[in-house]
Amino acid sequence: MQRSAERFNRSQLLIVLLLGVLSALGPFSIDMYLPAFPSIAKGLDTTTDAVQLSLAAYFIGISAGQLFYGPITDRFGRKKPLYVGMIIYIIAALGCAVAATIDQLIFFRLLQALGGCAGMVVSRAVVRDLFKPHESAKVFSMLMLVMGVAPIIAPTIGGFVSATWGWRMIFVVLTAISSITFLALARFLPESKTADKSISLNIGSIGKSYYNLLLEPKFIFYAMCGAFASAGMFAYISSSSFIYMELFGYSEKAFGVIFSLNAGGLILCSQLNRIFLKRSTMLTLLRNSCIALMVMGIIILFCAIGNADELLLSILIFVFVSILGFIYPNSTALALAETGNKTGTASALMGALQMFISFLASVAVSMLFNDTILPAAIVMSMSGVMAVFTLLYRNKLPVVR
């Protein structure tokens, strides 16, 4: 494995770029087609609400599908399951492009998610295979540089493609991107784990593996910490258009700029995390950033209750989102630090938990909706509180450096 790590270092930027694209492909596939909802509804002679079901189907697939790939990547290695997932994604993207009814689109979006989530599982597992925990946190920070760009450019690209060539071309573009990525992975990505025949794929063994991980303190506390932080992000994303355009009165163009600035803050902090890791431990950075997230969330909540100025709230939200750039890399690296030959399984469970809790956060914001920023502020503040709470319960465990 050490030889693999050395080879990785010789082409590190290319490998990190590929893993970043792989990680971002699933979320990118969501953001890119959002601007085309009205066009899709018109083209398929349906309603925008019905098109929303294709988004729900994608979230279900990208959450549950990760649990399928985890044990398989531990059993057969990382690349073969990844290839299967990529092929499924490519076929499904083409299916979306030629869908004749909304039911067909929903089906192919579900299938696309089931294929695309393989990359999310494998990218985390490969990093952990090739690097020691402290080094892997630096690499996860580098992945954030690529992943953070996706929500900035995806809606813009999707809107342009849809307006110029029609909504179906969005899925043609996704087919092209995934096909090029597939060829690049086949050529440049090293196999980071050999097949392990000792890992059973029967339902009972898989269920036991996931159950044991849920009971493993060195995994579950860090995984849940990252998941709760992600919930705060999804609370922001799910309500951002309402907050900035409806509530604050910003134009659509201004909203795009603000959304990009917030994503830029997250990217910046993820790169600062790499620098701080040279003289600090992952746990110290994670603990401090979670406390900062909690404090910022509570401040946002009190400002929301007090009807604070929209400029102040915009700045506070920017800081809140930026702090996540410290939390994601360190929580991921710590969660996968001591997972042994079950890194793929752990990566899958971590991803599924993150998506599930983030989905619940979005639902909570929707259910609490009252034409104010308060519902989002409540969920954002609670996400910080819960992230700190999970770390308090693991403070007697040995520190992984």
What integer pLDDT is reported at residue 388 of this predicted model? 96
Secondary structure (3-state) at 76: helix
Helical spans, DSSP H, in 77-101: 79-98
Burial of 103 (0-12, 13-18, 19+ CB in 10 A): middle
What integer pLDDT is reported at residue 100 of this predicted model? 96
Taken in order of first residue, the domains within the chain and their CATH numbers are 1-188 (1.20.1250.20), 202-395 (1.20.1250.20)
Secondary structure (3-state) at 220: helix
Tokens representing 352?
């599924």
- Consecutive sets of 10 residues in the chain, 401 residues long: mean pLDDT of each? 46 83 87 88 92 90 94 95 97 98 97 95 93 90 84 83 94 97 93 90 94 92 95 89 87 82 92 94 96 98 93 96 96 92 94 92 90 94 96 66 48
What is the 8-class DSSP label of residue 78?
S
Category of 77 on φ-ψ map: left (φ > 0), alpha (ψ -120 to 50) or beta:
left
* Amino acid occupying residue 193: K
Secondary structure (3-state) at 179: helix
What integer pLDDT is reported at residue 343 of this predicted model? 94
pTM: 0.89
